[in-house]
């Protein structure tokens, strides 16, 4: 089983990055890929996720102390990188605009519904209309499954991969809600170009 997992990781992960870079021909897209995977907030999310897993001693095979945290942090960075690569590659192919644009509404309940819905449906890129967020969902679940290749036996199952993907989608919902309700300076307000 370990040999199969290593083969999967050796073959799949580089091909995911190659597909993402091939789909990312414009310089601005390449910078978005780098930002999505290697930015300060991305590293902070990986560190926080590793910290939570470390406090829970999950997976227990990686042990405690600095060495255990380092393994969890490396795993979290790897999972986040695969997630970002798949999301950006599939999103480019599907012409998705994965930026979050605030609703501009003032009532709490409509804003909350808007933020949650915008996790699963996104704007089309360079054209009007909306489309399912296939890139975001395939990135979350793809990364959850691919990351099983380097996980220890207790967390290497397919079910755990789908659970990891579900947690990633739930985290995206939480981030969108935070983006919707976090106070912004008017100059920082992101507006959708054109109208739907």
Q: Whole-angstrom Cα distance, residue 108 to residue 115?
A: 11
Whether residue 7 has pLDDT greater than 50: no
CA-closest candidate to residue 120, choices 95, 98, 92: 98
Q: Whole-angstrom Cα distance, residue 32 to residue 55?
A: 32
Which of 181 and 35 is assigned the larger pLDDT? Answer: 181
Exposure letters 37-56 (e unless 16+ CB within 10 A, then b): beeeebeebbeebbeebbee
Q: What residues form DSSP beta bridges with 132?
A: 121
Half-sphere exposure of 3 (CA within 13 A, CB side): 0
pLDDT digits 0-9 by tens, 95-129: 888 888 888 888 999 999 999 999 999 988 878 88
Does this model's pTM top 0.85? My answer is no
Whether residue 179 has pLDDT greater than 60: yes
Q: Whole-angstrom Cα distance, residue 150 to residue 153?
A: 9
Average of per-residue pLDDT values in the chain: 81
Q: What's the full length of the chain, in residues?
A: 196
Whether residue 8 has pLDDT greater than 60: no
Q: Say what the pLDDT of residue 30 is.
A: 66
The structural domains of the chain, with segments of one domain joined by +, span: 2-184
Q: Say what the pLDDT of residue 100 is.
A: 86
Tell me the two tokens of residue 142.
């793809």
Q: For the chain, state the CA radius of gyration.
A: 18
Q: Say what the pLDDT of residue 44 is.
A: 87
Which of 40 and 117 is assigned the larger pLDDT? Answer: 117
Tell me the two tokens of residue 29.
């897209």
């Amino acid at each position: 089983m370990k040999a199969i997992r290593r083969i999967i990781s050796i073959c799949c992960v580089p091909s995911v990055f190659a597909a993402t870079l091939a789909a990312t021909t414009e310089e601005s897209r390449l910078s978005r890929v780098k930002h999505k995977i290697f930015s300060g907030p991305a590293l902070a999310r990986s560190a926080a996720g590793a910290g939570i897993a470390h406090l829970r001693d999950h997976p227990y095979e990686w042990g405690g102390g600095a060495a255990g945290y380092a393994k969890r942090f490396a795993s979290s960075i790897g999972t986040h990188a695969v997630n970002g690569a798949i999301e950006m590659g599939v999103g480019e192919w599907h012409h998705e605009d994965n930026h979050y644009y605030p609703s501009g509404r003032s009532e709490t309940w409509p804003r909350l519904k808007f933020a949650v819905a915008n996790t699963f449906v996104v704007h089309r890129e360079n054209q009007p209309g909306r489309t399912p967020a296939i890139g975001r969902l395939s990135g979350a679940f793809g990364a959850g499954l691919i990351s099983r290749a380097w996980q220890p036996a207790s967390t290497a199952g397919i079910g755990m991969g789908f659970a990891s993907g579900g947690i990633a989608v739930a985290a995206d919902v939480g981030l969108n809600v935070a983006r919707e309700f976090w106070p912004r300076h008017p100059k920082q307000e992101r507006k959708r170009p054109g109208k739907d």
